């Protein structure tokens, strides 16, 4: 019993000593162990994106990056609107058959160029044969009347026939000539072909075939549409605007138009409709353009100069403004490439951005496909 009690205190002392040694070892380890390094900041926060990017002229062409010169403007003095390209009244022609019949020849297909006066198809028609026969008969009667008049004139000059016979022959010849002229005019209006049994489908303007519903061998009625030809150089733009904006736009005002490809084209206000569209309750502004590569039916975005003023600044296409490291920036052209220029955007409307700080008039900036320059900068920052 005594032996067991003596062993108990000894065991307790050994346990206390072990605990003390462990505590001392932990303290030494704590003093000698190196502190773990602080968490490194993200590379994106530690490294700022480059402020310039070098770009060769060949890269600009290959990437289709367009440049735009910065000019002063304001949204208060401009009207933004969506529009569409349409052919002018003289820039599109609907070609029809002037007589009922069967389509026997087709010379042009969809998309092919056409010259003014060129035949696109032939329609064989009984009406054409009848018109051609009437023309031939009228010409024959006119020739006979002219021959009789010449004979009566000789006889009258020789004193063989009275003046009355000569005047009668002259009246008959005049009537025959008028009848022949009418028959020829009718044949010409019907576009009767040289074969005398077909009518020709002829384009009155130069352009390209934009519709070709004609089918070889098909029977078509008179005035049925067989082709449609449009001259892409003779187009206008119709822009829908609100009645309030329409009241601020005057004929002759300047405008710019941007198509889906990003091309910018100068335009002029031709007219403003005095009435509203009953479906959309909007007015239509007609813009005249010269040059460019607009196609009838193409959708465009227009910026029209109007009366009034607003916050001054610089107006650029919205795609020219890119977000880089949380800031709005544009890319200003330099001798070797582009410089990143932080800007302050006040307003965005109709695909345009009003910049009130960071640019000056005359700067040349990247507009279309500016995001490719941003991609180059981000790629360069990641590679460092």
* Strand, helix or coil for residue 293: coil
Q: Are residues 136 and 167 in the same domain?
A: yes
CATH number for the domain spanning 364: value is 2.40.420.20
The DSSP letter of residue 192 is B
- The Cα 238–Cα 267 span in angstroms is 11
Decide which of 270, 292, 308 is a domain's last residue.
308
Domain ranges, residue 111 = 94-125+200-230
Answer whether residue 33 is part of any domain.
Answer: no
Answer whether residue 323 is part of any domain.
Answer: yes
- The Cα 370–Cα 372 span in angstroms is 5
Please answer whether residues 356 and 319 qualify as being in contact, where contact means their C-beta atoms are separated by less than 8 angstroms.
no
Q: Are residues 120 and 167 in the same domain?
A: no
Please answer whether residues 221 and 234 qualify as being in contact, where contact means their C-beta atoms are separated by less than 8 angstroms.
no
Of residues 27 and 47, the one with the higher pLDDT is 47
Compute the mean pLDDT over every residue in the chain, rounded to the nearest whole number.
Answer: 81
Answer whether residue 11 is part of any domain.
Answer: no
Answer whether residue 20 is part of any domain.
Answer: no
Q: Are residues 208 and 104 in the same domain?
A: yes
Q: Are residues 98 and 224 in the same domain?
A: yes
pLDDT digits (tens, 9 = 90+) for 191-209: 888 888 899 999 999 989 9
Decide which of 271, 288, 308 is a domain's last residue.
308
Decide which of 264, 281, 308 is a domain's last residue.
308
Q: Are residues 67 and 55 in the same domain?
A: yes
Q: What is the mean pLDDT of residues 261-288?
A: 88
Provide φ and ψ at 57, rounded to 5°. Answer: -60, -35
- The Cα 130–Cα 124 span in angstroms is 12
- The Cα 343–Cα 181 span in angstroms is 74
Q: Are residues 333 and 384 in the same domain?
A: yes
CATH number for the domain spanning 172: value is 1.10.287
- If we measure between CA atoms, which residue out of 358, 356, 316 comes closest to residue 340? 358
pLDDT digits (tens, 9 = 90+) for 208-243: 998 999 999 999 998 889 999 988 788 899 999 888
Please answer whether residues 281 and 305 qualify as being in contact, where contact means their C-beta atoms are separated by less than 8 angstroms.
no
Q: Are residues 186 and 238 in the same domain?
A: no
Q: Are residues 99 and 224 in the same domain?
A: yes
The pLDDT value given to residue 173: 92
- If we measure between CA atoms, which residue out of 278, 121, 289, 258 comes closest to residue 201? 121
The DSSP letter of residue 38 is P
**Is 50 exceeded by the pLDDT of residue 5?**
no
Let me know how many helices (H) and strands (E) the chain has, helices first.
Answer: 7, 24
Measure Cα distances from 118 to 94, 125, 188 in Å.
14, 20, 14
CATH number for the domain spanning 107: value is 2.40.50.100
Using alpha carbons only, give the angle 354, 328, 48 rounded to the nearest 5 degrees.
Answer: 160
């Amino acid at each position: 019993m005594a032996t067991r009690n003596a062993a108990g205190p000894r065991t307790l002392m050994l346990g206390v000593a072990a605990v003390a040694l462990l505590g001392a070892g932990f303290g030494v380890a704590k003093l000698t162990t190196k502190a773990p390094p602080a968490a490194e900041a993200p590379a994106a926060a530690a490294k700022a994106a480059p402020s310039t990017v070098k770009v060769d002229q060949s890269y600009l062409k290959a990437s289709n990056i367009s440049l735009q010169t910065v000019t002063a403007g304001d949204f208060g003095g401009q009207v933004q609107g969506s529009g569409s390209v349409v052919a002018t009244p003289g820039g599109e022609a609907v070609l029809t058959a002037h007589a009922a019949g069967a389509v026997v020849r087709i010379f042009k297909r969809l998309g092919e160029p056409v010259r003014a006066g060129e035949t696109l198809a032939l329609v064989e028609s009984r009406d054409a044969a009848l018109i051609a026969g009437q023309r031939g008969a009228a010409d024959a009667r006119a020739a006979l009347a002219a021959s009789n008049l010449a004979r009566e004139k000789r006889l009258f000059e020789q004193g063989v026939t009275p003046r009355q016979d000569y005047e009668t022959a002259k009246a008959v010849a005049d009537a025959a000539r008028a009848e022949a002229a009418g028959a020829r005019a009718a044949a010409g209006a019907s576009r009767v072909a040289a074969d005398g049994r077909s009518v020709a489908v002829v384009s009155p303007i130069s352009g390209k075939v934009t519709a070709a519903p004609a089918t070889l061998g098909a029977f078509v009625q008179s005035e049925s549409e067989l082709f449609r030809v449009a001259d892409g150089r003779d187009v206008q733009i119709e822009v829908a605007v609100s009645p309030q904006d329409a009241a601020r736009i005057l004929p002759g005002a300047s405008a710019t138009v941007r198509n889906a490809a990003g091309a910018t084209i100068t335009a002029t206000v031709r007219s403003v409709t005095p009435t509203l569209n009953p479906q959309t309750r909007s007015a239509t502004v007609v813009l005249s353009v010269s040059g460019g590569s607009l196609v009838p039916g193409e959708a465009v975005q227009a910026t029209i100069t109007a009366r009034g003023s607003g916050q001054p600044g610089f107006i650029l296409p919205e795609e020219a403004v890119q977000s880089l490291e949380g800031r709005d920036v544009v890319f200003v052209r330099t001798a070797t490439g582009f410089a990143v220029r932080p800007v302050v955007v006040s307003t965005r409307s109709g695909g345009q951005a009003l910049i009130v700080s960071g640019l000056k008039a005359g700067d040349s900036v990247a507009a279309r496909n500016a995001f490719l320059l941003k991609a180059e900068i981000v790629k360069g920052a990641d590679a460092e």
